[in-house]
Amino acid sequence: MKNSLHKLLTPAVAFSLIIMSSACFSATPSQEVVNARQETQIWTTYALSPYLRANDIKVSVDAGKATLTGTVEEDVNKDLATAIAKGVTGIKDVDNKIEVLADYKPAATGRGYGDHIDDLTITSTVKSKLLWSKYTDSQSIEVETNAGKVTLVGTADTEEAKALAGRLATGTHGVTSVDNKLVVNKTPGVTGMAKASTKEMSKTISDSWITTKLKSTYMYSRNVNGSDINVSTNAGVVTLSGKLDSGVERALAIELAQNIRGVKSVQSKELIN
pTM of the model: 0.66
What distance in Å separates the CA atoms of residue 43 and residue 21, rounded to the nearest whole number? 16
Which pLDDT belongs to residue 17?
46
Q: Is there a contact between 205 and 262 (Cβ–Cβ < 8 Å)?
A: yes
| Domain 204-272, CATH | 3.30.1340.30
What distance in Å separates the CA atoms of residue 183 and residue 158, rounded to the nearest whole number? 9
CA dihedral 202, 207, 211, 212 (to 10 degrees): -70
| pLDDT tens string 75-134 | 999 999 999 999 999 999 999 999 998 887 776 666 777 788 889 899 999 999 999 999
Query: What string of H, E and C letters represents the secondary structure of 219-260?
Result: HHECCCCHHHEEEEEECCEEEEEEECCCHHHHHHHHHHHHHE
Which pLDDT belongs to residue 185?
82
Q: Is there a contact between 185 and 191 (Cβ–Cβ < 8 Å)?
A: yes
| Domain 5-100, CATH | 3.30.1340.30
Which pLDDT belongs to residue 191?
45
Domain ranges in the chain with CATH number 3.30.1340.30 = 5-100, 204-272
Which pLDDT belongs to residue 6?
45
Residue 98 half-sphere exposure toward CB, CA atoms < 13 A: 28
Hey, how many other C-beta atoms are within 10 angstroms of the C-beta on 143? Answer: 22
| pLDDT tens string 163-216 | 999 999 999 988 999 999 999 987 644 444 444 444 444 357 899 999 999 999
Which pLDDT belongs to residue 105?
76
| pLDDT tens string 25-35 | 445 678 889 99
What distance in Å separates the CA atoms of residue 24 and residue 194, rounded to the nearest whole number? 50
Helical H segments across the chain, by residue range = 5-8, 11-25, 31-48, 75-86, 113-132, 159-170, 192-202, 207-220, 247-259
| pLDDT tens string 122-145 | 999 999 999 999 988 778 899 999
Instruction: Return the CATH class of domain 114-195.
Output: alpha beta
